[in-house]
Chains A and B, each alone.
Chain A
Amino acid sequence: MQMQRLLLSTYFLFSPERRTANMAASGGRTVGSFLWKCGNCCFNFNTVSSNLTRQVLSRQLCVSAVLHRKNLAAAGPEKFSEEFIKKQVEEFNIGKRHLANMMGEDPETFTQGDINRSIAYLFPSGLFDKKAKPLMKHPDEDTFTKALAVEKHQDRLRGKDLFTQDAKQISLVGSRWLLKEELEELLVETISEHDYARFIQLMERLLSLPYCSVEEDFVQRYRRQLEIQSSKQQVQPLQYDQHGVAYSTGDGRRKTATGTVLLRDSGSGSISINGTNYVHYFPVLQDREQLMFPLHFMGVLGRFDMQCSVSGGGHSSQAGALRLAISRAMLSFLSEGQVETMRQAGLLTPDPRIKERKKPGQEGARRKFTWKKR
């Protein structure tokens, strides 16, 4: 029910007759319509009891119930149109009056608080969850009025000639829409995929209005903050050896190569890989550039002393593995902001690309067998 409320509220934002009709979604449908039917029956029992009229009324009741059932079956699922909403509001109001009558209160001054108390009295519920208890609310409340408020604000500004296209926008960058499961949990009802997609579509339309920042709270209720990625990096604490020189280790993998690095803050800038000098181990310039990349990016080219060991893979993947190992080892020497810049430069993500598997019926991963006409 609440899902339908949401859908309707945002949908009817854009319909032209929104001002005229006192539209609402089916909020207190269950209890309100029950009370209305109850009141109907009470009313019928209290009328002048002429046999004929009673028969007529009862016959009418029977007939009308049968017709109602037949009509429902023929028309298909109930459509949420304006008439439906008007009907719901009428039902709610009549139900409210009957409830007031039942409680012996004055129907004119029956407030929402009184309704809540009466419902709690008449339908005592042993359930703990508030959302599971029966409720009776005016359908207009707390969804559609938000969208109306935006429109009213805009019109007021237009009237005062202060309407500008570039008003303060709601910041959406660090957050995401609720997932379908989260929305189901919030509204305590199951939602179909189609409904969820429609909900997102309508919220996006609401956001497309220039002055949507008026209803920022309503929108933020359906958004979740995304966590900052750099907080997920595990930074090892700095270690000190017997001479007081700071050092740290790091390891990295790329394709099938694994490499480990011991980074020492000694200030000489020498690099030895598997016991040999890096110039001899990596004769290709590109590999040496990859080793230098994290150091050059942070501007600490001559500061560290590196002892690397690497095995597996080819020369490029070994260089990539060592690059990741060096970046990870360097994290202990850097501040938070620098860690974030390294992450955004792509130095801290392990490269997931691997050799694509060969498929049956093909010669390789992509290459097909030679096509023969016959």
Chain B
Amino acid sequence: MAASLTGLLKPWTPRVLLVRWSRYNPYYLEPEPRKEVYHIPETELTPEQKEERELKSVRPIKAATNSVTSSVFNDPVLSKFVNMMMKDGDKIIAKGIITQTLENMKRKQVEKYHKAPEGKKAETECNPYAIFHQALENCKPVIGLASIQKGGKFYQVPIPLTDDRRRFLAMKWMITECRDNKHRRTLMYEKLSQELLAAFSKEGNVVKRKHELHKMAESNRAYAHYRWW
């Protein structure tokens, strides 16, 4: 009994090797690196949070990954975007591009801020992180299409998408758009900042692609009943 429990705490290889497995036993819980979560006093916790805390005190916790810190600049969405942009494991270059993009966006927005008339000054968003998040939100599709075979033919059936899938599609479209449709001489960060600012104001190719997907889903409404899940 005690032996089987200590067996859960060791680096682990599953008996049947699955395609997606990790060196942690499924018994381990995810870590919480943010500081402010631990400074909430006992009285303000909901019962679920209290139970979660009790559970965490008896279960082993996984180690925090390399890209995660407790600093305010650590953004999980941005980290995901950096990873998706990375080629051949070169995170230094990918992170460099993103930093340059954010700086570029900030410069453009500050220029716009100074040129704007007094009334409009407060409306111009200068925080590059806020712009990035809003642009990504504007690019996320609400509904997607799946290829379902029925009676020998393949139909494009509209299906709901999970949050993770939507975020993935928005990021993927953004990156492919910036890699393909740019002039030979434009650098990646330049093109990316242009696209993000356009998406922030709901213009640009990525948002157009999202609208096209929505139109396709609307036109294929008749096949919606082909979905069985």
Contacts and interface: CB of A to CB of B under 8 A. Distances in A.
Interface of A: 171, 173-174, 179, 181-182, 226-230, 284-286, 289-290, 292-293, 296-297, 299, 316, 319-320, 324, 340-341, 343-347, 349-354
Given A297-B33, A349-B62, A353-B23, A289 B69 contact: yes
A174 B54 contact: yes
Contacts of A354: 11, 23
A1 B115 CA distance: 87
A344 B56 contact: yes
Given A343-B61, A354-B11, 17 more contacts: A173-B55, A174-B57, A174-B58, A181-B1, A228-B57, A229-B60, A289-B69, A290-B66, A292-B71, A293-B33, A293-B64, A293-B69, A296-B35, A297-B33, A316-B66, A346-B32, A349-B31
Given A230-B57, A344-B32, A296 B70 contact: yes
Tell me if B's interface is mostly helix, strand, loop or mixed. loop
Contacts of A324: 63
Contacts of A171: 54
B95 A289 contact: no
Interface of B: 1, 4, 11-12, 22-24, 31-33, 35, 38, 51, 54-64, 66-71, 91-92, 95
Nearest to A178: B1
Contact of B63 (A173, A227, A350): A350
Contacts, number: 93
B99 to A, nearest CB: 9
Contact of A228 (B38, B58, B62, B68): B58
Given A182-B1, A229-B59, A345 B67 contact: no
Given A289-B69, A296-B69, A353-B22, A346 B57 contact: no
A292 B58 contact: no
A294 to B, nearest CB: 9
A174 B51 CA distance: 9
B35 A297 contact: yes
Among B4, B38, B51, B63, max chain A CB count under 10 A is at B63
A290 B69 contact: yes
Nearest to B17: A359
A296 B51 CA distance: 27
